[in-house]
Amino acid sequence: MSALTELALDLRCAWDHGADQLWRRLDADLWELTRNPWTVLQTVSAQSISQALGDQAFRAQVDEVLRSRRAGLDAPAWFDVNHAAGALKQVAYFSMEFMLSEALPIYSGGLGNVAGDQLKSASDLGVPVVGVGLLYQQGYFRQIIDRDGGQQALFPYNSPDQLPITPLRTASGEWLRLKVDLPGVSVWLRTWQAQVGRTRLLLLDSNDAANFPAWRGITNELYGGGPEQRLRQEMILGIGGWRLLGALGIEPQLCHLNEGHAAFAVLERARAYMQHTGVDFATALATTRAGNLFTTHTAVAAGFDRFAPELIEQYLGRYAKNRLGITTEELLALGRANPQDWSESFNMAYLAIRGSGAVSGVSRLHGQVSRQIFGTLFPRWPEEEVPVGHITNGVHMPTWNSGQAERLWRGACGADWSQQLSDGAAAAGIRELSDAQLWRFRNEARADLIALARAHLSRMLLICGESIEVAEAARQLLDPQVLTLGFARRFATYKRPNLLLRDTARLLRLLSSADRPVQLIIAGKAHPADEPGQALIRQWLQFIRGTDARNHAIFLADYDMGVAEQLVQGVDVWINTPRRPWEACGTSGMKVLVNGGLNLSQLDGWWAEAYRPEVGWAIGDAQTHTDETVWDDRDAGTLYDLLEREVVPQFYSRDAAGVPTAWLARMRESMARLTPQFSSGRAVRDYTERYYLPAAQAWLRRSGDSGQGKGEGGRQILQWRQRLDGAWGQLRFENLDVATTAAGFEFDARVQLAGLAPTDVAVQLYANGVDGAGPQVYDMTLQSPPAKGGNPSGSSVYRVIVPPANRPVSDYTARVVPRLAGTAVPLEANHILWQR
């Protein structure tokens, strides 16, 4: 029984299906409905469990699955082999939601998907990550579609005893409970833990019996309620989450903020450092920010959480004064573009930026968009140098692959195929598969999807009050031999889920062709408060029910992780039509890669960097346009053209054996090339090597744990910034001379440093990039520092020789920027002076 408990409480079961037969043996119906081992184990009778354990074959299978799990946990992983001796010992990963399993419904969509998949890959790779989130009593809403095509929102209760989580307990066995202060009251927080292979997820909830009823509901719904409720949740996540780490004795070197929701963690981390060292808040923030990373997922400035100043004062005014030792105005300044504008709202993304040592976007294009969005925080800096990098998201391939895909990859690459994605071996194995193998695989996966979609649709129709006859008829819809398109995501206007409905007559001709038919499976939710999004759902239902499309298109209600798995595993083509550049990354299309599905998508997010003609199809011209109606029409036309002229003909063009060879060539290349590139394993390795490891070293140096006094690194930065603030207004260029030499252009700049030490700044020569290249930046070398008492002007001469190039001297401009070893400029000092 203890072995079954250990297996049931490990969310590794979301991607390692070795124990599925055990749960199916205990209660097949309950297992198929919930896919929750813990619910099965908690629900079946003691007699049933006893009988199963009395079966020697069953016990042997339990032993083997447990042995395999423990051996996997004990085996050296990528991080152990490559980075265990470094400074990074612990990462705390904060997120408002985590999509790990249907068994733990505390997610909505893309943000949770990224968080959950990265937590799983951290387990695979052995990266020491602990997740921090909230346990929602009702989570995100569940959806039904009524007879009129309207979305109805349901909020079933998440009973903790049915979830694969356990209470966190103190050394004495007492349930660990924390307090967070809200106006006039202290709210008790219960704490929980979910095991995710090698990693774990810590969760907080306010549904404690000691709380007033209104406070018990703070962690009720994900993304529910108004701004005040959201602020309470984010205080619990950021402030309560960091306190939970401290209560457990966890001391992360790196705090990873997955979106700005968790930005209050930077305040609480600074407060904890103040308590530990006795330094003031400014020093603590300057010190701790080196160990904070902010990843933004938002592609429009309006998408960030903002709170009215009076709400911040009401909820955090006393925290600022009594815990941080600062005024409310000083706190508000951290979340404003203009700290002097007292009417400006408090922006959680700005707080995250001002409290972090690095900022990243989630795709290459999103990095560019984010530099535009945050450019106001770095006035006069070129957009290319606004300090936002990027790491393109990926998905956890073992979670999203089908049983057929698992067998295919194992046969081609070996049992550790997912670990081979990074070294190219897996791609080589896929490229060696025959057309016959690939076609059989796709036909089986499509047939499974059709069977599951029919059953799901039939069940949802009964739930919505349709007759048994109508529900039974749904079990005959669609054809497992027909080209199947999938479209599923949150229904929001910018995602343009109705682009295919711009010309319904043309779409009907596609779907109902006698010799080359097409079928379409659609799913998705609109936020309960998003009326335009709900109207888009009604349009699809009206089209399906009111035309001949009813036999060729279906809408699957209650889109969740389980429905998403079914779709990405079985569709032939995944369609994505966001309005560029509003899709920060988009991960749904990545999930079809491992399953042999192809993408037909807007050149936005990840697809803007993934697309090549040999791996899929693209909509749009890779440009951003403001005339939305015109470009919606053009993109819809492109979508129809691609389907009619390329996608459908290629799928139905068969050789003598009935195999679509050109289709399979594209499919093979997509699987081999893109599956490794867009796996969360690749993303987590990138985060580890490009951000986590450098940040851990920076935190170690700055915090004083490497030999300096506590907080000395932070104090040096504050003193440096104070020198910059005091002198910057008096800095000036006196002249810039240029001479032509055999080595190139020799630039001499005479600069008045206004009392700053040459080590406080860097003098540079700058030229804009050309032909898509980045800017050219040359550090100039100090030639004659200001003489003490002998040089009245106090100016300094800097020189650089620029190699000959096919561009004029006038392209180059001198500038002065801050410089201090170990700091991130302009993130930590945004001063800049240009030669006029």
Buried b (16+ CB within 10 A) or exposed e, 265-293: bbbbbbbbbbeebebbbbbbbbbbbbbbb
Check residue 439 and give its pLDDT.
97
Q: Does the domain made of 723-834 have the CATH classification 2.60.40?
A: yes
Quote the CA–CA distance of 639 and 625 in Å, as a whole number. Answer: 17
Q: Which of 553, 531, 404, 411 is nearest to 474 (CA)?
A: 553
Answer for the pair 160, 153: CB distance below 8 angstroms, yes or no: no
Check residue 707 and give its pLDDT.
42
Can you list the alpha helix ranges (DSSP code H) found in 688-777?
693-703, 712-727
Check residue 548 and give its pLDDT.
85
SS3 content of the chain, % helix, strand, coil (to 5): 50, 20, 35
Check residue 786 and give its pLDDT.
65
Whole-prediction pTM: 0.95
- List, as one string, the DSSP characters of 780-801: PEEEEPPPTTT-TT-EEEEEEE
- What sign does the dihedral 681-683-684-688 (CA atoms) show? positive
For the chain, which residues make up each domain, given as ranges? 2-74, 90-393+687-703, 402-678, 723-834
DSSP SS3 for 299: coil
Would you call 233 exposed, middle or buried from its count of C-beta atoms within 10 A (0-12, 13-18, 19+)?
buried
Quote the CA–CA distance of 561 and 101 in Å, as a whole number. Answer: 7
Q: Which residues contact 10 (CB under 8 A, 6 or more apart)?
A: 69, 164, 195, 196, 197
Q: How many residues can be counted in the chain?
A: 836
Check residue 426 and give its pLDDT.
82
Q: Does the domain made of 90-393+687-703 have the CATH classification 3.30.750.24?
A: no
Check residue 788 and give its pLDDT.
53
Beta strands in 324-478 (DSSP E): 346-347, 358-361, 389-390
Answer for the pair 325, 359: CB distance below 8 angstroms, yes or no: no
Q: Does the domain made of 402-678 have the CATH classification 3.40.50.2000?
A: yes
For 270-280, how does the pLDDT look when each residue is reduced to its tens digit (9 = 90+)?
A: 999 999 999 99
Answer for the pair 105, 559: CB distance below 8 angstroms, yes or no: no
Answer for the pair 252, 92: CB distance below 8 angstroms, yes or no: yes
Check residue 311 and give its pLDDT.
97
Check residue 804 and give its pLDDT.
81
Answer for the pair 498, 532: CB distance below 8 angstroms, yes or no: no
Q: Is beta strand 91-95 parallel, antiparallel or unpaired with respect to 254-258?
A: parallel
| Segments in the chain below pLDDT 70 | 705-709, 786-793
User: What is the separation, in whole angstroms, between the first and last Cα of the chain?
Assistant: 77
Check residue 709 and give its pLDDT.
57
Query: What residues form DSSP beta bridges with 10?
Result: 195
90-393+687-703 against 402-678: fold identical: yes
For 574-605, how does the pLDDT look when each residue is reduced to its tens digit (9 = 90+)?
A: 999 999 999 999 999 999 999 999 999 999 99
